[in-house]
Amino acid sequence: MITADYKPLSLTQSITQWASWPMESTYHQPVLADEVIEGLNVLPGGNYIDCTTGQGGHTEAILLKCEPSGKVLALDLDPSAINSTHSRLTSYMDNLTLFQINYTELDSVHKKSVLPHIDGILFDLGLSSFQLDSSDRGFSFQRDEPLDMRFDPTGNVTAYDIINTYPEDNLELILLSYGEETRAKTIARRIVQSRPITTARMLASLVERAYRSSRGRIHPATKTFQAIRMAVNNELENISIGLTKAISVLRPGGRLVVISYHSLEDRIVKQFFKTESRDCICQIETLICSCNHLAKLKLVNKRIITPSHTEKSINPRSRSARMRVAEVI
């Protein structure tokens, strides 16, 4: 069943429906692009799904490698990302189909596409440089923008709603569990005391004051912004759902590639890969297996893949990237 937010776009369709969203002024450089192509084992004539097309960097790299008859389904929750990939990759539209949809719906997208098999699926998690630098949606603590942070502009909850209406306990829990913020209690209390908080700059200043004089390697508001963004977009929950659906869609021998950017994401991916690559997941002390779990994945790289020094110096935002690759059994 295709859900209500299923919106395939083709070259011939008007993109004016996205006109209220700004076109990109910051190009997102694809991270670990060569490694992604190798990890997905992209071959001419293959079919691939890019679950997080962003500005289409990885999508383009896959299209170039699977020419002339390969197909790519490219998904993103953010209409401005779809818009951006659409205009950048116009010349590939015979082989590319775009969907503004949550990757948790990737099985529906696959069914609708009628592609007989899928050879590789990519997740490049998190947010893009465009969203951070130019989307005017309050993702960056360095900018004076309204607190929104939704990838999907029709999403139910904005950062403003969470910051200005959630009880102090809930805020503390969000800061702790999605940001691993050690000063969650203080920051949550100050947020509640300072309402209404309307802009990203106001929120960042409040967190800076909670940190007083202590100066760390990262800006004090980094974890708070990460936590609120994750709560707004349900990011960690989506990863598990998306990965499970990816396995169900890939053909045997098909490749799953995931790039994450911080430990919370990577922990979920690592655990998922570990569980799905084992035949038995009973407690260690269990003598006779009762779970009947069968491995669905084979790990391709035992160690995580990270960007080279050269890539990190050219694209500093790649520095925290960790890539994992597995193959469906």
Ligand X SMILES: C[S@@+](CC[C@H](N)C(=O)[O-])C[C@H]1O[C@@H](n2cnc3c(N)ncnc32)[C@H](O)[C@@H]1O
Binding site for ligand X (CB under 6 A): 28, 30, 51-58, 75-78, 81, 102-103, 124, 126-128, 151, 233, 238
State the minimum distance, in angstroms, from the CB of residue 126 to ligand X. 5
Q: 183 vs 262, which CB is nearer to ligand X?
A: 262
Interatomic CA distance for residues 178 and 155, integer angstroms? 19
The residue to which tokens 């963004």 are assigned: 229
Interatomic CA distance for residues 323 and 281, integer angstroms? 24
Q: 80 vs 206, which CB is nearer to ligand X?
A: 80
Residue whose beta carbon is closest to ligand X:
54
State the minimum distance, in angstroms, from the CB of residue 211 to ligand X. 27
State the minimum distance, in angstroms, from the CB of residue 237 to ligand X. 9
Q: 200 vs 257, which CB is nearer to ligand X?
A: 257
Interatomic CA distance for residues 254 and 257, integer angstroms? 10
State the minimum distance, in angstroms, from the CB of residue 135 to ligand X. 9
State the minimum distance, in angstroms, from the CB of residue 106 to ligand X. 9
Which residue from 299, 308, 293, 295 is spatially nearest to 256, judged by alpha carbons? 299
Q: What are the φ/ψ torsions at residue 135 (nearest 5 degrees)?
A: -85, -10
SS3 302: coil
242 neighbors 122 (Cβ within 8 angstroms): no
Q: 150 vs 183, which CB is nearer to ligand X?
A: 150
Q: 24 vs 276, which CB is nearer to ligand X?
A: 24
Give the start-end residues of each E strand in the chain.
8-9, 47-50, 71-76, 96-100, 118-124, 250-260, 297-299, 322-328
